[in-house]
Amino acid sequence: MNSSFVFSSLERNGIYEKLPSELGRSLVNDPNLQEEEKEGYTKIISAIPPAKFKKLFETNISGVFDYLNGGADDITLSLSPSDLGIPFGGDINWSLSKTPPQEFRERVKVVYGIGNILLGVLVVLIVLLFLLFRVAGRAVLLITGILAVVLGGVGRLFLWVVSSNTPVNAEPSQVLLRLLSISILPDIAISWLFLGAVFIGVWVYLKK
């Protein structure tokens, strides 16, 4: 699982520029804040430069991908108000190994090293495709291409479902999920569609 793909997708789709205003507007819908807090935090969040959001995201998400790829045995997240230009408040640190309850930690540990597992599955699939090509011939290319196009279409459909089900008065977490979805999911879907088109194109070329 590649963090570079996620970071480039966020930057290419202008998510860092959208975060301050979008999150700022959503704070009024946060049920955990008092009215005076909502007004104060809205002004603070809206004034945070996109570059600071980018640094915060890349620092913390890199740690998550390290865990998913088996490169680290713990997930640690940190937030320093001073890094975001907020003149008050102490640093916030979160660690999977120190977070109760135990049941939650055990569930997250199930995905430890999932990146390496997915890479292994990809290698196996490539080998299987090669063997099937040797046995079934060019038809495998067409079938694979169609499957990839279908997966890309399903990704686009899922994106539409996520976008259409975002509440009008969305809370910050819902806004963040929507922004991440509209950035990353289209790029993944396009990758599958492109891959499918390549397989189908090769099939057409060999069929001539």
Task: Supply 147's token pair.
Answer: 């499957």
What pLDDT, on the 0 to 100 scale, is given for residue 86? 65
What pLDDT, on the 0 to 100 scale, is given for residue 125? 74
What pLDDT, on the 0 to 100 scale, is given for residue 168? 67
Averaged pLDDT of the chain: 76
Query: Does residue 170 contact residue 26 with C-beta atoms inside 8 Å?
Result: yes
Domain boundaries, the chain: 1-120, 137-208
Residue 152: CB atoms within 10 A of its CB come to 21
Band the pLDDT of 90: cuts 50, 70, 90: low
From CA 108, how far away is CA 74, in angstroms rounded? 10
What pLDDT, on the 0 to 100 scale, is given for residue 167? 66
Query: Does residue 146 contact residue 200 with C-beta atoms inside 8 Å?
Result: yes
What pLDDT, on the 0 to 100 scale, is given for residue 162? 64
Residue 184: CB atoms within 10 A of its CB come to 18
Q: Is the pLDDT of residue 1 over 60?
A: no
Q: Is the pLDDT of residue 82 over 60?
A: yes
Query: What is the torsion angle, in degrees rounded to the nearest 10, for the CA atoms of residue 146, residue 152, residue 157 and residue 161?
Result: 150
Band the pLDDT of 24: cuts 50, 70, 90: confident
Q: Is the pLDDT of residue 102 over 70?
A: no
pLDDT mean over 170-186 = 76
Extended beta strands in the chain, E state = 76-79, 92-95
pLDDT in tens, 104-154: 566 666 666 666 666 676 677 777 777 777 777 778 788 888 888 888 888
Query: Does residue 118 contact residue 80 with C-beta atoms inside 8 Å?
Result: no
**What burial class does residue 124 get, using C-beta atoms within 10 Å of its C-beta: 0-12 exposed, 13-18 middle, 19+ buried?**
exposed
Band the pLDDT of 77: cuts 50, 70, 90: confident
Q: Is the pTM of this model over 0.75?
A: no
Band the pLDDT of 164: cuts 50, 70, 90: low
Residue with tokens 């640093």: 91
Query: Does residue 74 contact residue 67 with C-beta atoms inside 8 Å?
Result: yes
